[in-house]
Amino acid sequence: MNIFRLTGDLSHLAAIIILLLKIWKSRSCAGISGKSQILFALVFTTRYLDLLTSFISLYNTFMKVVYIGCSYATVYLIYMKFRATYDGNHDSFRVEFLIVPVGGLSVLINHDFSPLEILWTFSIYLESVAILPQLFMISKTGEAETITTHYLFCLGLYRALYLFNWIWRYYFEGFFDMIAIVAGVVQTVLYCDFFYLYVTKGGLETGLVSFFAPL
């Protein structure tokens, strides 16, 4: 495993944990899209079904279990623990417009026509667009304060590091996965839009203050 992959994984994990801590500390999930978090939980569930069929390493197994557990913990906090603070009226993106096309594409374009491979491909495609309900919610409400710069920075760093990971693997391992790369580029572009909306919707100043405040 190269340094870009390792730090990318840790940045991704940090983003998830920061969001959990943010919700728990504020006792509120206002401004956070529950639909995006459900999509991320679906991404990890379908991607890591190989936990039941294969073992790669303790690190690999540990990270998969943590990703799945944290994603469902986030969904629980939004829809159960702090449901009264969830803004369902503004979290109105039609997720079926993402799941259905992504499901069809994963059946048509994959590396191997087998159940686990199709589900893995589905998770890759879905992850690239899972942030859209959050973007839609921010554009609809004009508020981004509850999505802290900690969370945004770690997600952006995760995507950037994975781009370097693919470059490293191509030059040093001869590895090239067009599906993962194209989906990753799409996701990176959407996160750039996320940062743009965050700044233009007035959340930057609040976020910078929270960046230096203890969680």
Model pTM score: 0.85
Task: Name which of 21, 17, 23 is nearest 77 in CA terms.
Answer: 23
Instruction: Write the pLDDT tens digit of every residue in 135-191.
Output: 888 777 766 665 666 777 788 788 888 888 888 988 888 888 888 888 888 888 877
Which tens digit of pLDDT belongs to each residue from 132-148? 898 888 777 766 665 66
CA pair distance 25, 146, nearest whole angstrom: 12
Token pair in block for residue 61: 């197994």
**What backbone torsions phi and psi does residue 13 show, to the nearest 5 degrees?**
-65, -40
Condensed to tens digits (0 to 9), the pLDDT of residues 15-48 reads 999 899 989 999 998 888 999 999 999 999 999 9
Alpha-carbon gap, residue 147 to 204, rounded angstroms: 10
End-to-end CA distance of the chain: 31
Given a contact cutoff of 8 angstroms between Cβ atoms, the answer to whether 122 and 109 are in contact is no
3-state secondary structure of 83: helix
